[in-house]
Amino acid sequence: MNFTIIYQEKKLLPFYTHALKEYHKRLQRYCKIQRLSCSSTSDILKKINSNSYVIGVTIQESTHTSEALANYFSRLAVTGQSRVQFIINPSNELLKHCDDCIALSPLTQNTGLILTILYEQIYRSYRINLNQAYHK
């Protein structure tokens, strides 16, 4: 699968950048993943690909277990949705362009933490779906 994560944040704190690099390295064997930082809603709209399945990451939706999220990603792959774009904290205008929404936590969190959790959950989903141990 190809994942693109779109967010509005000028600069991430160094420890988030370090964590994201580590998960990016781990995910390379399973998928392609990239982050796109945009400065405005209009910039995000330009990045939305009509061939992608767009998922808003909000706090308004119900949360999923790791197993349920792994199953969700697996269903997307089986139904031919090989390109997935996530929009972190989408505005109401951006929500209109989302095919679905998920929540990683009911808590309000900064963008760096949401990105890190999302990367971690994508990695965990692959490990679950392939029946591989997550913890070393």
DSSP state of 128: H
Predicted local distance difference test score (pLDDT) of residue 99: 96
pLDDT tens, residue by residue, 105-127 = 888 899 999 999 999 999 999 99
| Predicted structure pTM score | 0.94
Determine the CATH number of domain 2-129: 3.40.1280.10
Question: Which pLDDT band holds residue 136 (cuts at 50, 70, 90)?
Answer: low
Is 37 in contact with 7 (CB distance < 8 Å)? yes
Tell me the C-alpha distance between 104 and 68, whole Å. Answer: 12
How do the domains of the chain map onto residue ranges?
A: 2-129
For 113-117, the CB contacts below 8 A with 24+ separation are 113/16, 114/7, 114/57, 114/88, 114/89, 115/5, 115/7, 115/12, 115/16, 115/20, 115/35, 115/88, 116/16, 116/19, 116/20, 116/23
